[in-house]
Structure 1
Amino acid sequence: MSSQIALPLVTARGSETVIMGPSLVPAINALQSADSWPFRTAILAGPPRSGKSLLARWFAESGAGDVVDGADSLPEDEVFHRWNRAQAEGRPLLLVCDRAPGQWKIALPDLASRLGAALLIEIGPPDDELIAGLIMEHSMRRGLVIGDAVLAYLLPRVERSHAGIELLIETLDRLSLERKSPVTISLVRDAIAERTGAFQPRLL
């Protein structure tokens, strides 16, 4: 397995890391090229718990531009005002949202056309390297020890979503505490069964 890369982020909240994998590289490259964005505007979209807000804070803290988090839940006139201000100041603007603009119900035609012209940066499902990194990161935060055999068992079976991985490790932590047991393949099997409601065969 290739090594994990941690992207450091130091903010007022302290030091944080963005766990990297090949699926995130295009997004990182795009965030580092803000001066080339159309109208210096980009939209960072991705599923819950995919690290959008953390990447946005890294972008803002680096001084590369301004950020509007949760843009798809704000009043349209506020988003339009932020876009106009960014154009007037000649400063890159990153809009962070759960949905791509095509999935918004935008009533203002001018805003719709401007968002349609922005660069869309989408975070997709995590790749195997990123999944492994997320499993280890969430486990470390909870004080769980994940051995190589357990990790190898988990990788092809875990839900391939950022939120799903986090919830599985939360379930593993709870079962480990309840049973006063280390993280074993048997415990992982029970955690997956609890999360999915599916029977996990005890072969392999």
Structure 2
Amino acid sequence: MSQIALPLELRGQSDPDRIVIGNANLAVYEALADPKSWPFRTAVLTGPPRSGKSLIGRWASGQGVKVIDGADTVDETELFHRWNAAQESGEPLLLISDRQPWEISLPDLRSRLGGSLQLEILTPDDKMVAQLIEIVAEQRGLSLSDGATQYLVPRIERSFAGIENLVAAIDRLSLERKAPATMSIWRDALDQVQGPEQQRLL
């Protein structure tokens, strides 16, 4: 597991920070580092909410890749023209879509993108979840007591948004109670965000 410098924007904050590279996105990162290998010099990136697609896109843009974030919201005819322009210029093109799957109506565009490199951010494993908890807490200025990740990782929802929501709940309860973020607060935050019946390990 490693980290690269990327501008990580959490709710209400915009200071540069890190993004975790782990099982969920390692293949994406490796592929984006080598755009010369992409079919038609084009890659399509999808993934769940809050999984860092835009952050990775901004990093790729700094590497000379043309990035269209929110490509699934762009008019398909316009997107087809932009794909053609990238082909003519020889510029690598990364299209980022929030929709999974991304259903494309325009046949020409669908066939072009269907032959492009398909990349997807997956579900984080335990190691990646632990690092994400620590980084989100650090960004919020939240100090987690020892043993936090060991307690939270087996119980937390396996999603990027779920991790952010849980750490936010811990932070909120700690501030409301004017108490350190220890196990009683971790447990109550889990109940608030997921409900006791949703926890993976009781």
TM-score by length of 2: 0.90
Instruction: String of CA shifts for 1:61-82, please: whole Å, max 9, x gaps.
Output: 122x100000011110121111
- Corresponding residue SS for 2:196: coil
Name the structure 1 match of 2:35. 34
Distance apart, 1:106 and its partner CA? 2.0
Superposed, which structure 2 residues align to 1:1-204 within 5 Å? 5-9=2-6, 15-63=16-64, 65-100=65-100, 103-198=101-196
Name the structure 1 match of 2:11. none
TM-score by length of 1: 0.89
Q: 1 CA distance for matches of 2:159 and 2:142?
A: 20
Q: Which runs of 5+ in 2 are unaligned?
A: 9-13
- Corresponding residue SS for 1:82: helix
Q: 1 CA distance for matches of 2:197 and 2:182?
A: 17
Distance apart, 1:18 and its partner CA? 1.4
Pick closer, same or farther for the CA change 1:66–1:200 going to 2, 3 Å.
Answer: closer
Indicate conservation of the 8 Å contact 1:189/1:200, yes or no. no
Query: CA RMSD for the aligned pairs?
Result: 2.1
Q: 1 CA distance for matches of 2:198 and 2:7?
A: 41
Structure 1 outlier segments of 4+, above 4 Å: none
Indicate conservation of the 8 Å contact 2:145/2:180, yes or no. no
Q: 2 CA distance for matches of 1:113 and 1:159?
A: 36
2:178 counterpart letter in structure 1 = K
Task: Count matched residues.
Answer: 196
Q: Which runs of 5+ in 1 are unaligned?
A: none
1:89 counterpart letter in structure 2 = S
Indicate conservation of the 8 Å contact 2:6/2:59, yes or no. yes
Pick closer, same or farther for the CA change 1:141–1:15 going to 2, 3 Å.
Answer: closer
- Corresponding residue SS for 2:5: strand
Q: 2 CA distance for matches of 1:41 and 1:53?
A: 17
Indicate conservation of the 8 Å contact 2:166/2:190, yes or no. yes
Distance apart, 1:104 and its partner CA? 3.0
Indicate conservation of the 8 Å contact 1:19/1:130, yes or no. yes
Pick closer, same or farther for the CA change 1:14–1:66 going to 2, 3 Å.
Answer: farther
- Corresponding residue SS for 1:158: coil
